[in-house]
Amino acid sequence: MPLEIKDVDTYYGSVKILDSINFNASHGELLGIIGPNGSGKTTLLRTISRILKPKVGAILLEGRDVLEMGYREFSRIFAAVPQDTTINFDFSALDIVLMGRNPHLGRLELESEKDIEIARRSMRLTNCWEFAERPITELSGGERQLVIIARALTQEPKVLLLDEPTSHLDINYQIEIMELLKRLTSEEKLIVIAVIHDLNLAARYCDRLVLLHDGKIVSLGTQAEVLTAENIKNTFGADVIVKKHALTNHCYVSPVPSPLKRQNKTEAGLTVHLICGGGEGASLMHELAKKGYKVSVGVVNMLDTDYEVAKLLNIPVVTEAPYSPISEEAFQAHLAVVDRANVVVLCNIPFGFGNLRNLEVAERALERNKPLLVFEATRIEKRDFTNGEATKRFIILKGKGAIRVKNQEEVFKAIGQL
């Protein structure tokens, strides 16, 4: 293993910040360090870049102890891009990049044509050669970041360390910089270790992730292994849904609002049953739960958005196997759940032959004198994929006294009046 971090403990004064950190990184690997604020990400990076000395443990590069190297030798192998790249003195961008040659030059030695060539190559690679002559003080944050990365590359390092290289940048530069890091690992075979705040950016580009919490490694591995809702809940304390991105098949983390408090409001006690699917019930579920209603949901297919949201909100849900029509068993279970509800809401869902039986349940609810709200934001004809069968049954529902509502406010109003 080219780079080994072995049992590293780092202290600030007497406070232990890093606690037996252990991991490896190999050539051509982009390793992301993630974790909540104060978890020790920056400290870890500063320890590897020798700004901080670990109290215990070793850092080895190809078997050599990094802590034993001289300052100049170390900086020919390791280059770092700090979090704050503000520079108040008006050096030109090229001057700044040429400083990357310092570890290779004597104190009074001038930069040769070869050094300038290396600087030019780095600046072309990071796409900032066009503003080589401009004062660094006049560049935008993103442009400056590119220049600082070019400086690091001009050191011709084997290991590149970056502390939140994309924070404060707009999405265009975020992508540009992450793509650049990816290229540096795959083409130049660098070891790149970057602290990254944005979990999705980390998932999208990093080969492996290190998840830190309270100075310890909580999880280490591929994005699928590290970015689980459970890990994120335990470290960040945030509730999230982790999905596969439709386009890239990378993990995609999106937050859900903080855990719902079950308030004892006046409405509490009423149970609202939602007949939904395809994500049509998700936001209503959330709003109702927030208002203190008990909510139940049926019949939805597993892995459906409504299914996931219900699970997340701890709402009882009647399920069917993925992509399967509603079975007799699920139908009966659904009826039983509806029986316990005080009011039933039929969401604005499309109907196919697979979920036609959900309409049947709605009809049964009416027959048992349950108030039925029919949420109709889109005309039924447009979401009927059963050659008119669904529309026919829908009209029957209305004839039997279903209350038609057009938006969420009307749903709450109607339920409030019960």
Partner 1 sequence: MVMVYLITILSFTIVLTTAIGPVYVPPLEIVSLLGNKLHLLENASIPQKYEVIILQIRLPRIFLGLLVGLSLATAGTTLQGLFKNPMADPYIIGIASGAAVGAVFSMLILPSFLFIYTRPFMAFLGAMFTTFLVYNIARVGRRIPVDTLLLTGIAISLFLGAVLSFMMFVAEDLHSIFFWLMGGFWLANWTQVKISILPVFFSFFLIYIFAKDLNAMLLGEESAQTLGINVENVKKILLVFAAFITAIAVSFVGTIGFVGLIIPHITRILVGPDHRILFPASALVGGIFLMWTDALARLLGEMPVGIITAFFGAPFFIYLLRERKGKK
Cβ–Cβ < 8 Å for 32, 194: yes
Q: Which stretch binds partner 1 (CB under 8 A): 26-34, 104-112, 221-229, 381-389?
A: 104-112
Half-sphere exposure of 126 (CA within 13 A, CB side): 29
Closest CA to 319 of 308, 330, 306: 330
Site string for partner 1, 47-66 (x = CB under 8 A): --xxx---------------
| Minimum distance from residue 107 beta carbon to partner 1 (Å) | 5
Binding status of residue 236 toward partner 1 by CB under 8 A: no
Residues 6+ apart with CB under 8 A from 11: 17, 55
- Binding range to partner 1, per CB under 8 A, among 75-83, 231-239, 260-268, 282-290: 75-83
Q: How far is CA 96 from CA 114, 118, 148, 157, 212, in A?
A: 16, 13, 8, 17, 33
Q: Using CB under 8 A, which residues numbered 145 to 164 contact partner 1? A: 155
Output the smallest distance, CB 52 to partner 1, in A.
Answer: 10
CB 138 → partner 1: shortest distance, Å? 14
The helix/strand/coil state of 323 is coil
Q: Does the footprint of partner 1 cover residue 76 (CB under 8 A)?
A: yes
**78 contributes a contact to partner 1 by CB under 8 A:** yes
Pick the binder of partner 1 from 4, 9, 19, 95 (CB under 8 A).
Answer: 95
Stretch that binds partner 1, among 91-99, 117-125, 230-238, 326-334 (CB under 8 A): 91-99
**Cα 83 to Cα 51: distance, rounded to the nearest angstrom:** 13
Locate 37 and state its tokens: 């604020």
Q: Which stretch binds partner 1 (CB under 8 A): 88-96, 300-308, 343-351, 409-417?
A: 88-96
From the CB of 2, what's the least distance to partner 1, in Å?
19
DSSP designation for 134: S
Which residues partner with 210 through β-bridges?
33, 220
Burial of 50 (0-12, 13-18, 19+ CB in 10 A): middle
3, 34, 80, 209: residue in contact with partner 1 (rule CB under 8 A) = 80
Q: Which of 91, 121, 127, 398 binds partner 1 (CB under 8 A)?
A: 91
Tokens of 358: 């959900």
Q: Which of 102, 122, 174, 358 binds partner 1 (CB under 8 A)?
A: 102
- Residue 107 is a binding residue for partner 1 (CB under 8 A): yes
**Alpha helices (H) along 254-297:** 282-291
Nearer residue to partner 1 within complex by CB, 100 or 298: 100
Which C-beta is closer to partner 1: that of 40 or that of 100? 100
Strand partners, 164: none
Strands 216-221 and 343-346: unpaired
CA-CA distance, 82 to 158, in Å (whole number)?
17
For residue 355, state whether it binds partner 1 (rule: CB under 8 A).
Answer: no
| Smallest distance, partner 1 to C-beta of residue 278, A | 52
Nearest distance, CB of residue 91 and partner 1, angstroms: 6
3-state DSSP call for residue 15?
strand
Smallest gap, in angstroms, from Cβ of residue 167 to partner 1?
A: 17
Pick from 236, 198, 196, 217: which is nearest to 36 by CA? 236
Residue with tokens 């109607």: 414
Query: Would you call 169 helix, strand, or coil by DSSP?
Result: coil
The residue count for binding partner 1 (CB under 8 A) is 30
Judged by beta carbon, residue 56 or residue 69, the one nearer partner 1 is: 69
Which ranges of 237-347 does DSSP label H, i.e. alpha helix?
A: 282-291, 305-312, 328-339
Contact yes or no for 38/80 (Cβ under 8 A): no
Closest CB 141 distance from partner 1, rounded Å: 15
Smallest distance from the beta carbon of 116 to partner 1, in angstroms? 15
Spatial distance between the Cα atoms of 342 and 372, rounded to a whole number of angstroms? 10
Using the rule CB under 8 A, is 133 a contact of partner 1? no
Least distance from partner 1 to the Cβ atom of residue 45, Å:
11
Binding residue for partner 1 (CB under 8 A) from 8, 31, 66, 96? 96
Interface with partner 1 (CB under 8 A): 46, 49-51, 71-76, 78-80, 82, 84, 87-91, 95-96, 99-100, 102-103, 105, 107-108, 155
